[in-house]
Structure 1
């Protein structure tokens, strides 16, 4: 038995979980925990400037590493409320984050005390589970439960509230348990009858398509998915935000589908007679819940690890509750022949020709000789200059939404986006977390000038901790998506759409980072190449045409006759 404070027990719990990085902002409510971290040499504490952006760092770290990200808000009240946006983002992306916040002393609850907020109620809707510790002796138990819940499929964020008196109290503790003592070690396989039924549908398909989603990307299941695709000779499309689920250079990879995807992949899903959805909800961003984006007559085979997602938005022929890569292996073993081989070869052959033509046209039509810089030219230049092992992070917004399918993702787990939360201000901070998880990879973060303006204080974090990412600020001096809607559907009655910013390259230099400015594509190429090898965090401020705006959600404004 060992006598420890609750704060010391919290840090011992992190050590037992083999936590290597803790992101956080110091505060008086958790001083016992920070004091214990001082002696925890195996844990790197990354002090941030805002709890929201710290949570995005933990999000990127978790996605890239496969481990839970940890964020520590040192202060109750405002320190805790600043976590909300980051945890809402993590919940939408199913990112495993263990969020820890100081909490009011137990004896002060319900007394309108200083910085009092009902944190239990605040976090419950945006986490898988929220706990408020009731005693120092229960701190290890709650940490074990927090990591277990965060890492159990479907993964997601959890919140631990640690009252001041709990952290300062002492208790006797036995040896801290290792994760293997309470962590699930297996995933479900598809039921034999469901696999057989699905295999029969695929054997008789004339126009099969596989949709690869987060259940393939996040598990590293691209090998199993593409081996099944090769067996079927079926094109693979990726769900939005998961354009890196399978390697770009595989001839069966059609790219991102849906209203924001490319025309080749989107057509395949609209015309397929059998759709195998592997680890995707077939949800909003993929379809807008509309048969405009998926063939109403197709037989859908839906493979998902989350049983409530199966058949939720579209009627299905077969539902398979299973780990997506495991089900792909099962299906491949069950499919010994294709009954409509000639038809499938014609379908896939036509797709391959269309895909090659599309990629060639994408390059040929890119506007590379005009100023100001156009998005198509910018994306072509990025395709040319980024190393193949680059990890790319993105914000929401019109330029980043275009970029999700305009760049080439050669290795799975190369694209990190806000996904369904549509968050601006995510990319730069997320990239810092990705870089800490995979320090050997180049990390490039794409942002608009508005989003970067929200988060640039974390340049200090990047400089202080030598987290050398490259942030490309696509500077069009406006909130682009909203300005496009005001232009297209509200008669150009602009309000709040235009913004001004300092030169971000100069701001970066003031923080001690490297700054570059580009007003032509040649300058941008040179700047990114220099930024990647400069040995510092770097910011490339790129002047993009403010008039190059695109309305993505035209369906939202049908009532205005647009």
Structure 2
């Protein structure tokens, strides 16, 4: 049996699992693994970053925009902790991300000797941030450990996993009987016929059903659209479900329009969604409404108990429900839904200057382009004000809402989709969390257009302190660099656009470049209209 080092076996396992790109930073504990990546450089592209958090977010962007595993590698201890925010994001947004890291020498783990990069219990730390984490103690374990982690990552409700190997194990040679073993997603539960029958009976009596989709239904757009047409029911989403039914489809309602419809809804059909809008943001339920949920995660039926819970994939569950419904032809709601859409667009037009700038971006970004939001005034408004036409094209951080994820994530999106335009929209506060990755973009020619809206503040904090704390400002006022000169110092093309019309013209030019670029958009401090009355309206 051929003998290989653990590092080589891990690299080969990644290739066997279809991985073609790894983000990361080399380091002493990882040298033998890094060298194995060098040996496979024609099959595994290594993109080195300037911060471990950037590596994790790029892997997240790769995974979130494609559905394929995103992989990154960092040193143990501080490297793992620096990337922890990205693991939190991947966990919260159900993205298949793999962290490959090291540990101290195997005989010293747990002894508290104070070795380089030692954590008290790194494996426990990783298990607290992921679906699963495991250690490879010997080359012979590599195939089993790696395949098991890929299975965990891809099965059911997807999420991040991590693998570590001690410093001395990465370079240790040995044989591995299962080196070629492949981890695959376990088969999803099949829809329970009795639950399908109950759901069909509820729907048969419904007059105004509403379909809510989330990230768990990104692959079920065809089935969701067919169900919507069969029921003449609108479809809405919060963030991760945007584009599953295109926003210009007559059955698609942004969540501002959907909330008006919600007032008369009698059945809520949640498909691959935590139902955050209805239960956590709208915070009230129409009298007598029935709730049907289709979700691959059985614990969702415990977290939020529905009237009918169908544990299945979004595709299988929705298809089974369609097949169980009697062929009827309810009256068309097209005109009603178009009126709701138009009324919502009129209402949100008052959220300025955000909507004017978002409209300019949408007019310039091709239909198949990717929009990566950030926790910012533009990002918040984009949740309801930026039309999306296909799943995965609106990339969000999910419920973690972490500052600084946007630009770094966008770089991973672009690496995964080199032929598609990618725009990152950040505030000045969040952008500075990861500006060092401008160097990564230039070095690897990752042609993302970064749009930085500069209001010299953490805008949401500033608004809340003005409104709720009588202007007792602390920590919300920011001093910023000249973003155009900053971009140019890194080797990017820098622009400044001071109006929506100027932004559209500039973005057209930037998207035509074969190079990364940055556009700064100055915004008067505190001038933005609050998007929150639409995102988290008062309970009715």
- Please confirm whether the aligned pair reaches a TM-score higher than 0.5, indicating the same fold: yes
Deviation at 1:202, TM superposition (A): 1.1
In structure 2, the residue corresponding to 1:519 is in which secondary structure?
A: coil
Structure 1 residue aligned with 2:525? 546
Please say if residues 156 and 185 of structure 2, whose CA atoms lie closer than 8 Å, have aligned partners that are also in contact: no
Structure 2 residue aligned with 1:170? 173
Deviation at 1:311, TM superposition (A): 5.2
* Whole-angstrom CA distance in 2 between matches of 1:52 and 1:178: 30
1:153 aligns with 2:156: yes
Structure 2 residue aligned with 1:224? 223
In structure 1, the residue corresponding to 2:432 is in which secondary structure?
A: helix
In structure 1, the residue corresponding to 2:86 is in which secondary structure?
A: helix
Q: Deviations over 1:501-524 (max 9, x none)?
A: 112222111111111111122221
Q: Deviations over 1:469-500 (max 9, x none)?
A: 11111111100111111011000111110111
* Whole-angstrom CA distance in 2 between matches of 1:305 and 1:494: 45
Q: Deviations over 1:241-262 (max 9, x none)?
A: 422222111101002x3xxxx2
Please say if residues 354 and 528 of structure 2, whose CA atoms lie closer than 8 Å, have aligned partners that are also in contact: no
Please say if residues 71 and 100 of structure 1, whose CA atoms lie closer than 8 Å, have aligned partners that are also in contact: yes
Structure 2: unaligned runs, 5 residues or longer: none
Aligned-CA RMSD value: 2.2
Structure 2 residue aligned with 1:301? 292
TM-score, scaled relative to structure 2: 0.94
Deviation at 1:551, TM superposition (A): 5.6
Please say if residues 481 and 549 of structure 1, whose CA atoms lie closer than 8 Å, have aligned partners that are also in contact: no
Deviation at 1:431, TM superposition (A): 0.8
Structure 1 residue aligned with 2:38? 38
Structure 2 residue aligned with 1:502? 481
* Whole-angstrom CA distance in 2 between matches of 1:166 and 1:137: 11
Sort the Cα spacing of 1:387 and 1:246 in 2 relative to 1 into closer, same or farther, 3 A.
Answer: same
Q: Deviations over 1:54-86 (max 9, x none)?
A: 11100110112221111100x222112212111
Structure 1: unaligned runs, 5 residues or longer: 368-373
Q: Deviations over 1:234-278 (max 9, x none)?
A: 1111134422222111101002x3xxxx2x112223431011111
TM-score, scaled relative to structure 1: 0.90
Please say if residues 375 and 548 of structure 1, whose CA atoms lie closer than 8 Å, have aligned partners that are also in contact: no
Deviation at 1:214, TM superposition (A): 1.1
Deviation at 1:186, TM superposition (A): 3.5
In structure 2, the residue corresponding to 1:515 is in which secondary structure?
A: strand
* Whole-angstrom CA distance in 1 between matches of 2:290 and 2:4: 59
Matched ranges for 1:182-221 at <5 A: 182-184=183-185, 186-217=187-218, 220-221=219-220
Matched ranges for 1:53-452 at <5 A: 53-73=54-74, 75-109=75-109, 110=111, 111-117=113-119, 118-174=121-177, 176-179=179-182, 182-184=183-185, 186-217=187-218, 220-255=219-254, 257=255, 262=256, 264-283=257-276, 286-288=278-280, 291-292=283-284, 294-310=285-301, 312-313=303-304, 315-338=305-328, 341=330, 345=332, 349-359=335-345, 362=348, 374-452=353-431
Sort the Cα spacing of 1:4 and 1:532 in 2 relative to 1 into closer, same or farther, 3 A.
Answer: same
Structure 2 residue aligned with 1:371? none
Please say if residues 302 and 311 of structure 1, whose CA atoms lie closer than 8 Å, have aligned partners that are also in contact: no
